[in-house]
Structures are given as structure tokens and as C-alpha cells.
Amino acid sequence: MELHIESTVRYCENVGERSRKSWYHAEKLLSSHKSEKIDMPTFGARSQKNLKCMHPLLRRVANAAIEHINFTIICSVRSKADQDQAYNLKRSRAHFGQSPHNYFPSLAFDFIPYPFTDEDWDDLAKFDAIAKVLKDVATPEVAIHWGGDWATFKDTPHIELQDWRKYIGKSYNITSLVVSKYNSAVHPNPYA
């Protein structure tokens, strides 16, 4: 069991690494082929990889939403290196261990509209439309928060489970495995 968890965690960390190197180019190619007619949206390979690393509740929400509106899941688990980078680039205010992305399975995910161009980062309406569907399909089974609703630090791609800290180290003990492996020396898990 432990070996399986270790390799899954490694897999999930590498999703982020692969994103930076190859997915950006792939996305550009894909979004230039807009003529392709699709009856109902389905998740592409990048989203599928991130889905595998998400909490089952979030996975269910995303799978229900994709039937209504098209989007890509660009991030789920964020490793220490990725979290440090996000912090340094001011994309996140959280140090490693303080973000719901830093646990396995991930208690948050980030999405972008599909198809997507760089100008869409500033298109609040596109993110809002997807967030509305996500919140709609999540209710009443589970409450989620959208980063676009935050007053002080708008994080429009971000979705997280409400009260996500309650999921750490309780029903999903493997999260503490990740925390103890990467986090013990500098940042002891404050929520364990």
C-alpha cells in the first residue's frame, strides 16, 4: 500500500512539472483548432491527470460540471517546489502546507476555460460562468469555495472544498504521509 501511495504522490507531483514543459504548447495547438465540433464537453488528457490526484468529492463535482460547460483542470496537487514558485510569483499567498493544493488527494483544483487564450486570464465572465456551474452541481452534496468570490485576493481559477482543513489526516491518512515526507523539518503540519 505504501509503495503504491509513494508512486502515486510522485506521479501527482510530476503532473505540475509536465504542465510547464509540454502542456502549454499542447494547449496552444488545441485551442487553435476551434472548428472541431463536440456535442458534449469531455475532459482532455491534462485534466484527466489532475483529476486522478483530486479528492473524490472534488472529482465528482468536476465530472458533473464538465457535462454542462467546457473547462480544463490545470492544477491539483502542488508539490513544495511548485508551491514555493507560486508564492514567489505572488500567485499564492500560502507557504507550503498552508494551501489545500499541498495535500494528497488534493483539496483544491485550478481551472481555465476551454478553449483558452492568454487574454482569457482577465476575462472574469468566462471564469464566473464555469464557477457558477461548479457551485451549482456541488450543492447540496458538498460546499465549495471559488477564489473569484474572495474580496481581497481574487484567485479566479481556484476551487477548494469548504473547511478543507477538516479533511487533512482524518479520513485520508495518506495526506499526512505527504506532509511528513516533505514538510516536517521546516513547516510542521499545523492542522494535524
Give the residues lining the site for Zn ion (CB under 5 A).
108, 110, 158
Nearest-approach distance from CB 35 to Zn ion, in angstroms: 32
Between 51 and 108, whose beta carbon lies closer to Zn ion?
108
Between 156 and 176, whose beta carbon lies closer to Zn ion?
156
Nearest-approach distance from CB 108 to Zn ion, in angstroms: 5
Question: What residues contact 12, with CB distance under 8 A and at least 6 apart?
Answer: 52, 53, 76, 77, 104, 106
Residue of minimal Cβ distance to Zn ion = 158
- Pairing relationship of beta strands 144-146 and 71-75 according to DSSP bridges: unpaired
- Pairing relationship of beta strands 108-113 and 158-161 according to DSSP bridges: antiparallel
Between 101 and 179, whose beta carbon lies closer to Zn ion?
101
Nearest-approach distance from CB 75 to Zn ion, in angstroms: 6
Nearest-approach distance from CB 56 to Zn ion, in angstroms: 18
Which phi and psi angles does 130 have, rounded to 5°? -70, -40
Paired residues of 108 in beta bridges: 160
The residue whose grid cell reads 514543459 is 21
Question: What residues contact 133, with CB distance under 8 A and at least 6 apart?
Answer: 65, 68, 69
Between 6 and 133, whose beta carbon lies closer to Zn ion?
133
